[in-house]
């Protein structure tokens, strides 16, 4: 919090750091995944705004700045618009918490690997629900909400998207 | 005349950097209108929704868009002082005040703020060309006239020659009376 201000009230350590990185997952049919002996998950479809997703086992939200995560928590329907500070105070976001959030530390911990950053949350959600985490495991998790949020400076404005992933 | 303080002769000269210039085709169309001194935004020919930033079709109904003059009023709902920028032009201009403005026309826009304009203020929004020749939204006080040439930040959007270097040429006489092709 004592770090220098970048753009009030965002300070240095609220900003994602650029890094290099890559990730991949295979898009295929459940039948082929089974034939190859691969664990698989299914996309359960994008959710409608303001449908309270109370049955999600975790949230993997795009995190270039903490405020962007807070905006997604509101707009995905976890709480009313404007009530996110109360929601954060009432919930635990760790692996055992009421809403495990960005369980690999997210980009704010790992860095933003250019365009690969957009799939960072999908990859971590898959690792969690398929029981192949690089770090800690969210107990009993089979369903994850993944959310993306992006903006092109000076021109195209904000784009966002969300999907529910469920282990098969 | 108030004007800016004269430059310290020991300070390195301004290298003439310009703000980021690449834009979409739709945003270039806005710059053309801003250069004409108009305040125009796209409106859907089908559902009449006004949209910003410039797009290729209506985000509400996918209808075609047409440029229309719009009311210039708005209200500032958020502001920040940008203190660090990765951009070489803005790096030389820090701090830089910007804010989020809810336009009377409908959309929400990020705008450069005039000195003294703060959250909650009603504003008059104008479009001007920045130094890269691109359209920029500027939020001015709602009442009265505002002299952008006396505003440290907004002076960048003017051609006010006071305290600026000017190039005087001895071009041929007919160049002075050029009236277009």
Give the E-state strand segments of B23-175 in sequence order: 40-44, 50-51, 65-69, 73-82, 96-103, 108-113, 122-129, 135-141
Distance CA A23, CA A44 (A): 22
In this predicted structure, what is the pLDDT of residue B166? 78
pLDDT for the residue A154: 72
Question: Do A7 and B23 count as a contact with CB atoms less than 8 A apart?
Answer: no
Q: How confident is the model at residue B178 (pLDDT cuts 50, 70, 90)?
A: low
Is the C-alpha dihedral spanning A130, A131, A137, A143 positive or negative? Answer: positive
pLDDT at B173: 65
pLDDT digits (tens, 9 = 90+) for B95-154: 999 999 999 999 999 999 999 999 999 999 999 999 999 999 999 999 999 999 999 999
Q: Is B140 helix (H, G, I), strand (E, B) or coil?
A: strand
pLDDT of B165 over the 70 cut: yes
Phi, psi of A21 (to 5 degrees): 180, 170
Residue A38 CB neighbour total at 10 angstroms: 12
Top pLDDT among B48 and B171 is at B48
From residue B176, give the alpha-carbon distance in Å to each of A35, B34, B171, B179: 80, 26, 8, 9
| pLDDT at residue B151, rounded to an integer | 92
DSSP string, A102-151: STT-HHHHH-B-GGGHHHHHHHHHHHHHTT--SS---TT--EEEEEEEEE
pLDDT recorded at residue A84: 96
Helix, strand, or coil here: B34? helix
Predicted local confidence at residue A53, as pLDDT? 66
Percentage, residues of chain B above pLDDT 90: 68
Please check whether residue A51 touches B, CB under 8 A.
Answer: no
What are the C-alpha distances in Å from A166 to residues A29, B14, B53, B105, B174?
14, 56, 36, 42, 75
User: Which residues in chain A have their CB less than 8 angstroms from residue B23's CB?
Assistant: 154-155
Which chain B residues are closer than 8 Å to A155 by Cβ? 23-24, 27, 53-54
Rg (CA), chain B: 19
Phi, psi of B40 (to 5 degrees): -120, 140
The helix (run of H) or strand (run of E) holding residue B61 is: none
Question: What is the CA A117 to chain-centroid distance, rounded?
Answer: 11
Which pTM was predicted? 0.81
Q: Residue B3's pLDDT is what? A: 63
Chain-chain contact of A155 with B80 (C-beta, under 8 angstroms): no
Give chain B's end-to-end CA distance (angstroms, integer). 38
HSE-CB of A112 using CA atoms within 13 angstroms: 14
B29, B77, B84, best to mutate vs chain A, most A CBs in 10 Å: B84
- β B135-141/B108-113 pair status: parallel
**Which phi and psi (to 5°) does residue A143 adopt?**
-135, 135
Radius of gyration of chain A (CA): 16
- The pLDDT assigned to A50 comes to 41
Mean pLDDT by 10-residue block, N- to C-terminus, for chain A (168 residues)? 92 94 94 96 69 79 94 92 96 95 94 87 96 95 92 74 91
So what's the pLDDT on residue B139? 98
Are A51 and A166 in contact, with CB atoms under 8 Å apart? no
Compute CA distances A101 → A7, A74, A97, B146, whole Å.
25, 14, 9, 48
Task: Please tell me the predicted confidence (pLDDT) of residue A47.
Answer: 57
A136-140, B14-18, B75-79, B110-114: segment of lowest average pLDDT: B14-18
Virtual CA dihedral for A62, A64, A70, A74, nearest 10 degrees? Answer: -40
The average pLDDT across B146-173 equals: 82
Question: Cα(A81)–Cα(A104) distance, rounded to whole angstroms?
Answer: 27
> CB contact, 8 Å: A82 with chain B?
no
Q: How far apart are CA A117 and CA A140, in angstroms?
A: 26
pLDDT at A115: 80
**pLDDT band per the 50, 70, 90 thresholds, residue B163:** confident
């Amino acid at each position: 919090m004592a770090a220098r201000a970048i753009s009030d009230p965002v300070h240095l350590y609220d900003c994602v750091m650029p890094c290099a990185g890559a990730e991949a997952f295979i898009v295929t049919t459940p039948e082929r995944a089974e034939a190859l002996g691969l664990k698989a998950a299914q996309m359960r479809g994008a959710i409608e705004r303001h449908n309270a997703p109370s049955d999600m086992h975790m949230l993997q939200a795009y995190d270039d700045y903490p405020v962007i995560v807070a905006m997604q928590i509101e707009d995905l329907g976890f709480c009313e618009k404007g009530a996110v500070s109360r929601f954060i105070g009432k919930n635990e976001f760790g692996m055992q918490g009421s809403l495990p959030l960005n369980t690999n530390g997210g980009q704010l911990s790992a860095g933003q690997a250019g365009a690969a950053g957009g799939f960072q949350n999908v990859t971590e959600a898959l690792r969690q629900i398929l029981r192949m985490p690089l770090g800690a495991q969210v107990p009993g998790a089979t369903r994850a909400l993944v959310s993306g949020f992006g903006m092109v400076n000076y021109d195209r404005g904000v784009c966002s998207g969300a999907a529910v992933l469920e282990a098969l | 005349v108030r004007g800016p303080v004269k430059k310290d002769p020991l300070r390195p000269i301004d290298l003439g950097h310009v703000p980021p210039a690449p834009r979409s085709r739709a945003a270039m169309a806005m710059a053309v209108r801003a250069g004409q001194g108009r305040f125009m935004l796209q409106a859907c020919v089908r559902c009449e929704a006004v949209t910003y930033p410039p797009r290729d079709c209506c985000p509400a109904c996918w209808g075609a868009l047409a440029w229309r003059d719009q009311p210039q009023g708005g209200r500032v709902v958020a502001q920040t002082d940008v203190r660090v920028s990765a951009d070489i032009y803005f790096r030389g201009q820090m701090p830089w005040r910007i804010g989020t403005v809810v336009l009377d026309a409908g959309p929400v826009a990020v705008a450069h703020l005039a000195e003294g304009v703060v959250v909650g203020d009603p504003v008059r929004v104008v479009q001007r060309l920045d130094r890269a020749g691109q359209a920029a939204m500027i939020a001015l006080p709602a009442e009265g006239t505002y002299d952008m040439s006396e505003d440290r930040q907004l002076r960048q959007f003017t051609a006010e020659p006071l305290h600026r270097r000017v190039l005087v040429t001895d071009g041929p006489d007919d160049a002075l009376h050029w009236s277009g092709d």
